[in-house]
Amino acid sequence: MDHSSPLTLVKIGGNVIDDAEETARFLATFAALPGPKLLVHGGGKLATTLAGKLGLPTRMVNGRRLTDQPTLEVAVMVYAGLVNKTLVAALQARHCDALGLTGADAGSVLARRREVRDVDYGFVGDIERINAPRLTEWIRQGLVPVFAPLTCDAHGTLLNTNADTMASALSAALAEAFDVTLLYCFEKKGVLADSADDQSVIPFLSEADYAQLKEDGTVSQGMIPKLDNAFDALRKGVSKVIICHARDLSACATAGSAGTLLSL
Amino acid sequence: MDHSSPLTLVKIGGNVIDDAEETARFLATFAALPGPKLLVHGGGKLATTLAGKLGLPTRMVNGRRLTDQPTLEVAVMVYAGLVNKTLVAALQARHCDALGLTGADAGSVLARRREVRDVDYGFVGDIERINAPRLTEWIRQGLVPVFAPLTCDAHGTLLNTNADTMASALSAALAEAFDVTLLYCFEKKGVLADSADDQSVIPFLSEADYAQLKEDGTVSQGMIPKLDNAFDALRKGVSKVIICHARDLSACATAGSAGTLLSL
């Protein structure tokens, strides 16, 4: 395979999506990034807001929201509908040839419903197979896939899938054909040495350092699955993974001069 | 251009979409249709139901629902989200390589917001340009585009667009590359000579007959824009247009032995 062609794969977090001004700024930067690229977006609070308006109860299991049928339908409406198409239309207006997708579309990301062991999380999917040849072809043609965090299984059941995991799995699958840089963009400047100090960005983080930070509690909660996904991508052939603020997308994608750069 | 390759373009109406059993039956038939194909779906009552649950007022202008911003958002959630992705996932499970689209995706259908003359219908789009080369390429690769009735304009504004019109415009644009059969599938057996008698299907309808039926009131209301769109497709190079019951899809697509066959 020819690894010489670069691909920038960006995951944009829900907290950025929730802020119209931040989203517009992000999209302008993303649209202007040179070369092949792909976007994975989270959902933000819109789904929770809509579920609330519809009077759906929020059912939590081990700190995670249970995805029952009505919750899944809300996720599909908000993520695959409103959020995805709003982003796609805005990118098209900026001459970025965006194509909105869920894993169901063109069989791009096949998943399996998570097995019920101790806990039934509901309609949640673990990724099984990515249609990398098709995505590769589209990207080479100049299309910019924009993924909502939804997949489907072989029986046609739509499933909620974590957007960080989608980004990691897509990066790894596309690393066969591209030299992939994966950027996790969110509302912090990177991995912080002190969660109370937004300026305390750790510029370089090895997997050994990460193990240490987990042990001493510096890194906790939502950062742990994000970093697990990030290191997983590196182990699976992704060239570079950076965790950064959405506003630093350009600096990170082109110069790698902001955020936290991970290494094995 | 090589006109020898057939393409079956099906519009499935909202009343069918509203009925889970009818939809499942329709999708099984659609998935089994041989050769290249494309699906355009309406929205059904789900959007109205959701708008009602959210307490959005229904504002009508000249008998049409006004698409204000909240109404547009509901349409995007329901049509591009829930309906589109549910259909795509179900088709994928039936080994039909469906790709869900709005006009925004890959710049497939560019529209212009309808000008305000006497009436402002809100976020409603009239189709300006279809990216036929891209759709043609996808269809030739075996993909089955599944369109939700939404477009966007050059400024990135999403717009509601009538699904019958989408089907007509897509058929006409693809008639350059394919020998297109357009099937309007809905909950009636065709154009009826007596609207109270479901068996009174008119098997053949010319444009002159249609003018007569409009004049004497046999054809009225929702059938008029549908037939206008249908004849428009014929005038623009579509080979065959049939109006039929969703259950007769197979008979119409293969043998043309049901429904109302139109001719200029």
Report yes or no: B14 and B45 within 8 Å, Cβ to Cβ: yes
Chain-chain contact of B105 with A98 (C-beta, under 8 angstroms): yes
pLDDT band at A3 (very low <50, low <70, confident <90, very high): low
Q: Residue A234: pLDDT above 90?
A: yes
Distances (CA, A) of A36 to A8, A25, A39, B128, B247: 6, 20, 11, 28, 44
Q: CA-nearest residue of chain A to B104?
A: A89
Q: Which of A88, A94, A105 sits opposite B99 (nearest CB)?
A: A105
Q: What is the mean pLDDT of chain A?
A: 93
Residues of chain B found within 8 Å of residue A129, distances taken between Cβ atoms: none
Chain-chain contact of B93 with A53 (C-beta, under 8 angstroms): no
**Least confident span in B56-60, B124-128, B176-180:** B56-60
Tell me, what's the pLDDT at B58? 80
Return the higher-pLDDT residue of A2 and A36. Answer: A36
pLDDT band at B257 (very low <50, low <70, confident <90, very high): confident
Tell me, what's the pLDDT at B253? 85
Domains and CATH numbers, chain A: 6-263 (3.40.1160.10)
Q: Residue B2: pLDDT above 70?
A: no
d(CA A17, CA A12): 7
Residues of chain A found within 8 Å of residue B84, distances taken between Cβ atoms: 80-81
Tell me, what's the pLDDT at B124? 93
Tell me, what's the pLDDT at B7? 97
Q: CA-nearest residue of chain A to B74?
A: A82
pLDDT band at A117 (very low <50, low <70, confident <90, very high): confident
Q: Residue B18 burial (CB < 10 Å; 0-12/13-18/19+)?
A: middle
Q: Residue B181: pLDDT above 80?
A: yes
Tell me, what's the pLDDT at A62? 72
Return the higher-pLDDT residue of A63 and B109. Answer: B109
Tell me, what's the pLDDT at B158? 98
Tell me, what's the pLDDT at A41? 97
Residue A56 DSSP class? P
Tell me, what's the pLDDT at B3? 54
Token pair listed for B176:
């350059």
Q: CA-nearest residue of chain A to B154?
A: A93
Whole-prediction pTM: 0.96
Tell me, what's the pLDDT at A222? 82
pLDDT band at B59 (very low <50, low <70, confident <90, very high): confident
User: What are the pLDDT digits (tens) for B74-103?
Assistant: 999 999 999 999 999 999 999 999 999 999
Q: Residue B120: pLDDT above 90?
A: no
User: What are the pLDDT digits (tens) for A65-89?
Assistant: 789 999 999 999 999 999 999 999 9
Tell me, what's the pLDDT at B119? 81
Residues of chain A found within 8 Å of residue B50, distances taken between Cβ atoms: 77
Q: Quick one: average pLDDT of B106-112? A: 98
Q: CA-nearest residue of chain B to A53?
A: B54
Report yes or no: B150 and B80 within 8 Å, Cβ to Cβ: yes
Chain-chain contact of A92 with B158 (C-beta, under 8 angstroms): no
Residues of chain A found within 8 Å of residue B76, distances taken between Cβ atoms: 81-82, 85-86
Contacts A–B by Cβ distance under 8 A: 114
Residues of chain A found within 8 Å of residue B89, distances taken between Cβ atoms: 104, 152, 156-158
Residue of B71, B74, B83, B85 best to disrupt the A interface, most CBs of A under 10 A: B85
Distances (CA, A) of A3 to A133, A178, A183, A195: 14, 5, 18, 37
CA distance B191 to chain A (A): 34
Q: Output the CA torsion sign for A225, A226, A230, A231.
A: negative
Q: Residue A255: pLDDT above 80?
A: no
Q: Report yes or no for ipTM above 0.90.
A: yes
Chain-chain contact of A100 with B99 (C-beta, under 8 angstroms): no
Q: Residue B205 burial (CB < 10 Å; 0-12/13-18/19+)?
A: buried
Chain-chain contact of A93 with B158 (C-beta, under 8 angstroms): no
Residue of A88, A137, A138 best to disrupt the B interface, most CBs of B under 10 A: A88
Residues of chain B found within 8 Å of residue A155, distances taken between Cβ atoms: 93
CA distance A49 to chain B (A): 11
Tell me, what's the pLDDT at A142? 97
Q: What is the mean pLDDT of chain B?
A: 93
Report yes or no: A152 and A159 within 8 Å, Cβ to Cβ: yes
Q: Residue B116: pLDDT above 90?
A: no
Q: Which of B90, B99, B107 sits opposite A92 (nearest CB)?
A: B107
User: What are the pLDDT digits (tens) for A173-185?
Assistant: 999 999 999 999 9
Chain-chain contact of A105 with B98 (C-beta, under 8 angstroms): yes
Residues of chain A found within 8 Å of residue B97, distances taken between Cβ atoms: 106-107
Q: Residue B1: pLDDT above 70?
A: no
Report yes or no: B96 and B123 within 8 Å, Cβ to Cβ: no
